[in-house]
């Protein structure tokens, strides 16, 4: 009875302390912005089973992944035993779940084996942290306290496992001495029991380990919420609450949609100022993220669930090439800033200011403008944290509240606004690329003739104006003509898709471009769109639906693959036969939209395909995404495109194949930088197909 | 101190220039209009001066001479940050006429600094700024590439052959600004565009002024001849083409 009372008191104290902590966090959450609604519970459950319970993403690094998965699965099994201990402690029962019989034995045996496995894994983790200098455990964000926190949590887990094994070992001895029948199976502890004999003290040591184990659980539970190991509680829910959109899709800002509609309506745009309070009430809250109360609840949840493993930073092209950006730091900064400002917000309300902000005091503009929006970090995160949404949110604030983008980006905003392309070329010149090269039907001509083409070909600004990429537009339209495909282009009616404006933070300009383009596309009743540009592909496919543009969008590599599988296009290498080709995955085709196979199917029909070290979802960005194409790279040790070109050169390929205008520019520059442009060529897949067909 | 920035409403630099059939006027159909790039830099510098709290600048006004179709450009200037805007309701005909209108506006307010771009990217007249100062009888400084305030004193930097000069000028004065006055033109932020909707845009009637010049004819430059490529080692062919086709040898 005494034991029960003591246990109850300890349990209540634990729960009280825990409740206090959770209440604080709930208060902080109240000061975050609304994010996406949590729907599609079935799909979420599936993702949770796969990514969290199945640990699929942690296996992207197989060795450490296996160790982590064993620890995780072990925890799940041991958790059953811990629940039993709490029931036993409260009600004075002994091994209350033993009525489960064989299954109970199975659980106990598994828990006993897992305890040893976890202990060993933890020793490996500790050894790695203390003695090996693993690069991803360092970085400007990894302060002494971060390392200490990790080691304290690991030590606690080790003690938990040792006490569990001790409890089992002495339980065996004590029960055997008392002549009781053993309940449950304990393979590891049986072995230990044959080595250690506590004699008369076996029951004492059993009790001691029992209390030590449950006490450690209580301590651990209350330590976690203040540690990066809050992860233990939050990672499974965090995966359940994952963002369900494709990685490449940027969420729409509805407050901007409202404003842009007003701007684009000539009757309302410059209407006389509205009077007084009514007008004031209409001014939307801050655009984008300046401080921690501007992040969504999910961004904050992500930051609490993050265990600072650094896999995101280890794959970040900016970080790899020595730039200041570290996606892990961005997430950690959100948590740290809320820890600093949250109490003031809870106490004084949302007007509270401590004259500091997440932007500039924690995260510098240099970090934000180093991001290529390649989504490698989000792809890599084992618990589906979405780092780019925070980075983009802060860019949005800089651009839309302060117009503080780097000058080169401001220039492309002006160009897109004035002439519909990031470069200074007249809208009227959008068809010059065809002159004397290829016959390309215009949508307006087709309409005049009463014809409706099956496909619209979205040429894109690069396809119309970039000297190198114009050749790709020519090659692909030659292939289309050769296949007799029914298609047309918008010609001078096409305007920038807005992808680059959006990713550089100018949501207003993106929406203006999108609305204009959608009006034209819908006017022609376009149903199916082909494009060579993965950025336009992603934007038209995933982002235009939010503004009323619903189309079936096909990347040209997918189109070519389909033509092959339907038997309309048969390829043999022709002059390319025997050439070694390596494919550089464009981020917005691959990671953003999961298309890795189509380009490879086409290439395999043309030549010998060789893979780079980092390929498919692991592929390194070319360095041009997220507006980087148009600006100087931030300070670093190396340019991303050089790193990627070196990797391509390592394959010994004769041809680097790309499928994106930005990648094309970057890889071509990389070959020039490496003085390899004579020996190795860089072609778009469409050009390779045209070459093999001798078009 | 109040600053007045004179804004010219010009076609976007990528515009395909076309003329009316009688070749006497510019055909503005389908043209995207922008703030004259030099004026945009002047406005950017004016905003920087106002935002620096150590300067006694209280207000930045923008002004243009033009019809109602020029208002979106003025709104853009307001979105960039100007406090208020004035449109002189007249079709600008020549530099003197425009200068007279701007001088009238400048004289009606208590402006310490009047800024104009050194030229406009459409007609490249490069004369309005100097004319304003003549009409108003106040000093002007041309080709200003730096402008700062030291208390009430205006310090101007000009790039001169082989160096730079710094001079002081008493307000009010007209500054005719050159590239370099601001690092990069500022663009309108979303927030600025929303604020601009509520800022005052005053339309004033044109002052009496003559136009002293009129356009007789515009002509397009000759189109560039197509480029002929000659193989690098084919010198004979090159000489042949230069001699017989280009007739330069």
What's the pLDDT band for A269 if we cut at 50, 70, 90?
low
Nearest to B95 by CA among B135, B133, B129, B66: B129
Cβ proximity of A121 and A143 under 8 Å: no
Among the partner residues B72, B186, B199, nearest to A403 by beta-carbon distance: B186
Structure tokens at A245: 């959109």
End-to-end CA, chain A:
90
B-facing residues of A in 235-294 (CB < 8 A) are 256, 259, 263, 269-271, 273-274, 279, 283, 287
Give the Cα separation of B21 and A441 in Å (integer): 30
Among the partner residues B14, B188, B201, nearest to A425 by beta-carbon distance: B14
A35: left (phi over 0), alpha (psi -120 to 50) or beta: beta
**Domain A574-692 fold:** Rossmann fold (3.40.50)
Contact across the interface for A271 and B197, Cβ inside 8 Å: yes
B16-32 confidence digits (pLDDT tens): 888 988 888 889 888 99
Per-residue pLDDT for B14 more than 80? yes
Domain that holds residue B175: 2-219
Per-residue pLDDT for A172 more than 60? yes
Distance between alpha carbon A542 and the CA centroid of its chain, in Å?
16
Q: Are A254-267+285-404 and A414-565 the same fold in CATH?
A: no
Residue A279: predicted pLDDT: 47
- Answer whether B83 touches A (CB < 8 Å): no
B-facing residues of A in 503-542 (CB < 8 A) are 507-508
User: Is B184 part of a structural domain of the chain?
Assistant: yes
Angle at A223 between CA A379 and CA A121, to 5 degrees: 60
- Answer whether B72 touches A (CB < 8 Å): yes
Structure tokens at A250: 């940027």
Contact across the interface for B189 and A419, Cβ inside 8 Å: no
Q: CB-side exposure of A87: number of CA atoms within 13 Å?
A: 12
**Cβ-Cβ contacts under 8 Å, B197 against chain A:** 269-271, 273
Contact across the interface for A403 and B75, Cβ inside 8 Å: no
Distance between alpha carbon B130 and the CA centroid of its chain, in Å?
13
- Answer whether B14 touches A (CB < 8 Å): yes
- Answer whether B11 touches A (CB < 8 Å): no
User: Is B239 part of a structural domain of the chain?
Assistant: no
Angle at A454 between CA A448 and CA A455, to 5 degrees: 95
Contact across the interface for B184 and A411, Cβ inside 8 Å: yes
Residue of A nearest to B196 (CA): A270
Write down the residue that tokens 């007739």 correspond to: B247
Domain count, chain B: 1
The total number of residues written for chain A in this structure: 695
Give the Cα separation of B18 and B220 in Å (integer): 8
Cβ proximity of B83 and B60 under 8 Å: yes
d(CA B12, nearest CA chain A) in Å: 7
Which candidate in A412, A427, A429 is best for mutational testing of the B interface (most B CBs within 10 A)?
A427
Question: For chain A, which residues make up each domain, given as ranges?
Answer: 2-30+61-231, 254-267+285-404, 414-565, 574-692
Per-residue pLDDT for A667 more than 50? yes
Average predicted confidence (pLDDT) for chain A:
94
- Answer whether B15 touches A (CB < 8 Å): yes
For residue B60, the cross-strand partners are B3
A48-57 confidence digits (pLDDT tens): 999 999 999 9
Contact across the interface for A274 and B14, Cβ inside 8 Å: no
Nearest to A624 by CA among A503, A470, A480, A474: A503
Residue of A nearest to B10 (CA): A418
**Cβ-Cβ contacts under 8 Å, A403 against chain B:** 186-189, 192
- Answer whether B27 touches A (CB < 8 Å): no
The share of chain A scoring above pLDDT 70, in percent, equals 97
CATH number for position B187: 3.40.50.620
Which candidate in A418, A493, A496, A510 is best for mutational testing of the B interface (most B CBs within 10 A)?
A418
Does A276 or B216 have the greater pLDDT score?
Answer: B216
Contact across the interface for A400 and B185, Cβ inside 8 Å: no
Per-residue pLDDT for A281 more than 70? no
Per-residue pLDDT for A277 more than 80? no
Residue A370: predicted pLDDT: 98
DSSP 8-state code for residue B2: E
Cβ proximity of A232 and A221 under 8 Å: no
A297-331 confidence digits (pLDDT tens): 999 999 999 999 999 999 999 999 999 999 999 99
Per-residue pLDDT for A60 more than 70? yes
Which candidate in A262, A414, A420, A508 is best for mutational testing of the B interface (most B CBs within 10 A)?
A414
Average predicted confidence (pLDDT) for chain B:
93
- Answer whether B192 touches A (CB < 8 Å): yes
Residue of B nearest to A260 (CA): B190
Which candidate in B9, B11, B14, B179 is best for mutational testing of the A interface (most A CBs within 10 A)?
B14
B37-51 and B71-80 helices, crossing angle to 10°: 30
Does B227 or A151 have the greater pLDDT score?
Answer: A151
Residue A126: predicted pLDDT: 96
Residue B175: predicted pLDDT: 96
What's the pLDDT band for A282 if we cut at 50, 70, 90?
low
Does A134 or A422 have the greater pLDDT score?
Answer: A422
Give the Cα separation of A18 and A610 in Å (integer): 54
Which candidate in A275, A403, A431 is best for mutational testing of the B interface (most B CBs within 10 A)?
A403
User: Is B237 part of a structural domain of the chain?
Assistant: no
Considering the four listed CATH numbers 1.10.357, 1.10.3470, 1.10.1060, 2.60.40, the one that applies to the domain covering A254-267+285-404 is 1.10.1060
Give the Cα separation of B211 and A6 in Å (integer): 101
A595-618 confidence digits (pLDDT tens): 999 999 999 999 899 999 999 999
Per-residue pLDDT for A265 more than 80? no
Query: Prior bond to B172 cis, omega within 30?
Result: yes
**Cβ-Cβ contacts under 8 Å, B199 against chain A:** 273
Question: Does domain A414-565 correspond to CATH entry 2.60.40?
Answer: no
A&B contacts, CB < 8 Å: 66
A504-558 confidence digits (pLDDT tens): 999 999 999 999 999 999 999 999 999 999 999 999 999 999 999 999 999 999 9
Residue B125: predicted pLDDT: 86
What's the pLDDT band for A278 if we cut at 50, 70, 90?
very low
A425-473 confidence digits (pLDDT tens): 999 999 999 999 999 999 999 999 999 999 999 999 999 999 999 999 9
Structure tokens at A155: 């030590």
Give the Cα separation of A573 and A691 in Å (integer): 9
- Answer whether B247 touches A (CB < 8 Å): no
Per-residue pLDDT for A488 more than 80? yes
Query: How many C-beta neighbours within 10 Å does residue B114 have?
Result: 31
Which candidate in B76, B85, B190, B197 is best for mutational testing of the A interface (most A CBs within 10 A)?
B190
A88-134 confidence digits (pLDDT tens): 999 999 899 999 999 999 999 999 999 999 999 999 999 999 999 88
Indicate the range of A214-223, A484-493, B239-248 predicted with least confidence.
Answer: B239-248
d(CA A688, nearest CA chain B) in Å: 25
Contact across the interface for B193 and A508, Cβ inside 8 Å: yes
User: Is B231 part of a structural domain of the chain?
Assistant: no
Contact across the interface for A403 and B188, Cβ inside 8 Å: yes
Contact across the interface for B16 and A273, Cβ inside 8 Å: no
How buried is B84 (Cβ within 10 angstroms: 0-12 exposed, 13-18 middle, 19+ buried)?
A: middle
Query: Which residues make Cβ contacts (< 8 Å) with residue A405, sequence separation at least 6?
Result: A369, A395, A398, A399, A413, A504, A505, A506
Among the partner residues A400, A411, A424, nearest to B14 by beta-carbon distance: A424
E-only strand ranges, A451-536: 455-458, 487-489, 528-531
Indicate the range of A172-181, A290-299, A328-337, A368-377 predicted with least confidence.
Answer: A172-181
Among the partner residues A418, A428, A508, nearest to B16 by beta-carbon distance: A428
Mean pLDDT in residue range A556-574: 94
For residue B154, the cross-strand partners are B149, B169
DSSP 8-state code for residue B55: S
């Amino acid at each position: 009875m005494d034991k029960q009372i003591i246990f109850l008191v300890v349990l209540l104290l634990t729960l009280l302390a825990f409740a206090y902590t959770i209440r604080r966090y709930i208060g902080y959450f109240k000061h975050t912005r609304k994010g996406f609604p949590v729907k599609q519970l079935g799909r979420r459950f599936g993702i949770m089973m796969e990514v969290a319970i199945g640990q699929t993403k942690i296996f992207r690094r197989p060795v450490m992944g296996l160790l982590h998965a064993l620890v995780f699965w072990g925890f799940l099994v041991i958790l059953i035993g811990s629940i039993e201990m709490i029931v036993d402690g409260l009600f004075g029962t002994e091994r209350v779940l033993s009525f489960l019989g064989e299954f109970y034995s199975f659980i106990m045996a598994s828990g006993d084996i897992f305890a040893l496995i976890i202990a060993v894994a933890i020793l490996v983790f500790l050894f790695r942290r203390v003695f090996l200098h693993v690069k991803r455990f360092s970085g400007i964000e990894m302060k002494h306290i971060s390392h200490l926190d990790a080691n304290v949590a690991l030590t606690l887990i080790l003690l938990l496992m040792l006490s569990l094994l001790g409890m089992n070992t002495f339980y065996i001895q004590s029960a055997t001495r008392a002549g009781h029948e053993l309940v449950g199976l304990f393979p590891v502890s049986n072995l230990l029991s044959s080595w250690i004999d506590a004699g008369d003290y076996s029951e004492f040591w059993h009790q001691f380990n029992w209390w030590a184990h449950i006490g450690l659980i209580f301590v651990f539970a209350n330590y976690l919420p203040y540690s990066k190991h809050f992860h233990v509680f939050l990672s499974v829910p965090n995966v359940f609450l994952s963002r369900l959109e494709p990685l490449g899709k940027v969420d729409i800002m509805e407050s901007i949609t409202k404003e842009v509609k007003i701007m684009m309506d000539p009757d309302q745009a410059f209407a006389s100022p509205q009077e007084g309070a009514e007008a004031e009430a209409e001014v939307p809250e801050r655009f984008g993220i300046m401080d921690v109360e501007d992040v969504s609840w999910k961004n904050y949840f992500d930051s609490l669930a993050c265990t600072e493993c650094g896999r995101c930073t280890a794959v970040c092209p900016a970080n790899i090439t020595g730039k200041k950006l570290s996606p892990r730091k961005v997430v950690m900064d959100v948590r740290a800033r809320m820890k600093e400002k949250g109490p003031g917000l809870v106490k004084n309300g949302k007007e509270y200011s401590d004259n500091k902000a997440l932007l500039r005091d924690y995260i510098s503009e240099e970090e934000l403008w180093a991001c290529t929006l390649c989504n490698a970090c989000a792809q890599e995160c084992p618990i589906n944290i979405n780092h780019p949404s925070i980075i983009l949110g802060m860019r949005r604030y800089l651009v839309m509240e302060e117009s503080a983008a780097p000058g080169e980006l401001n220039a492309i905003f002006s160009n897109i606004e004035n002439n519909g392309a990031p470069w200074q070329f007249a809208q009227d010149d959008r068809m010059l690329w065809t002159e004397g090269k290829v016959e390309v039907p215009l949508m307006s001509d087709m309409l005049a003739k009463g014809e409706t083409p099956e496909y619209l070909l979205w040429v894109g600004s690069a396809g119309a104006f970039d000297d190198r990429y114009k050749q790709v537009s020519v090659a692909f339209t030659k292939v289309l003509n050769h296949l007799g495909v029914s298609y047309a282009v918008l010609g001078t009616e096409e305007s920038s898709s807005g992808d680059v404006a959006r990713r550089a933070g100018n949501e207003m300009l993106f929406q203006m471009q999108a609305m204009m383009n959608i009006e034209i596309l819908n006017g022609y009743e376009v149903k199916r769109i082909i494009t060579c540009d993965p950025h336009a592909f992603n934007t038209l496919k995933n982002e235009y639906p939010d503004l009323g543009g619903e189309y079936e969008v096909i990347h040209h590599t997918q189109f070519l693959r389909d033509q092959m599988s339907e038997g309309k296009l048969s390829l043999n290498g022709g002059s390319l036969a025997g050439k070694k080709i390596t494919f550089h995955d464009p981020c917005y085709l691959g990671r953003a939209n999961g298309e890795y196979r189509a380009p490879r199917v086409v290439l395999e029909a043309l030549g010998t395909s060789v893979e780079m070290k980092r390929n498919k979802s692991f592929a390194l960005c070319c360095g041009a995404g997220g507006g980087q194409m148009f600006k100087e790279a931030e300070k670093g040790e190396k340019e991303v495109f050089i790193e990627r070109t070196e990797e391509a050169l390592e394959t010994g390929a004769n041809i680097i194949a790309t499928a994106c205008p930005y990648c094309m520019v970057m890889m071509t520059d990389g070959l020039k930088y490496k003085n390899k442009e004579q020996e190795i060529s860089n072609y778009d897949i469409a050009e390779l197909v045209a070459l093999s067909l001798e078009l | 101190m109040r600053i007045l920035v004179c804004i010219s409403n010009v076609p976007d630099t990528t515009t395909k220039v076309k003329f009316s059939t009688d070749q006497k006027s510019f055909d503005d159909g389908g043209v995207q209009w922008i703030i004259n790039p030099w004026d945009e830099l002047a406005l950017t510098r004016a905003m920087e001066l106002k935002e620096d709290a150590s300067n006694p600048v209280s207000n930045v006004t923008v002004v243009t001479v033009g019809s109602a179709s020029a208002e979106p450009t003025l709104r853009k200037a307001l979105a960039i940050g100007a406090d208020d805007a004035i449109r002189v309701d007249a079709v600008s005909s020549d530099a003197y006429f425009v200068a007279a209108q701007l001088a009238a506006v400048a004289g009606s307010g208590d402006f310490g600094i009047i800024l104009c771009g050194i030229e406009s990217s459409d007609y490249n007249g490069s004369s309005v700024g100097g004319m304003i100062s003549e009409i108003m009888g106040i000093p002007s400084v041309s080709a200003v590439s730096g402008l700062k305030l030291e208390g009430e004193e205006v310090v101007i930097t000009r790039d001169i052959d082989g160096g730079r000069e710094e001079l002081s000028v008493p307000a009010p004065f007209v500054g005719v600004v050159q590239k370099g006055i601001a690092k990069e033109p500022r663009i309108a932020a979303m927030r600025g565009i929303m604020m601009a909707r509520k800022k005052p845009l005053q339309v004033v009637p044109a002052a009496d002024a003559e136009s002293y010049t009129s356009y007789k004819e515009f002509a397009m430059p000759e189109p560039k001849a197509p480029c002929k490529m000659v193989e690098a080692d084919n010198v004979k062919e090159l000489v042949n083409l230069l001699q017989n086709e280009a007739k330069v040898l």
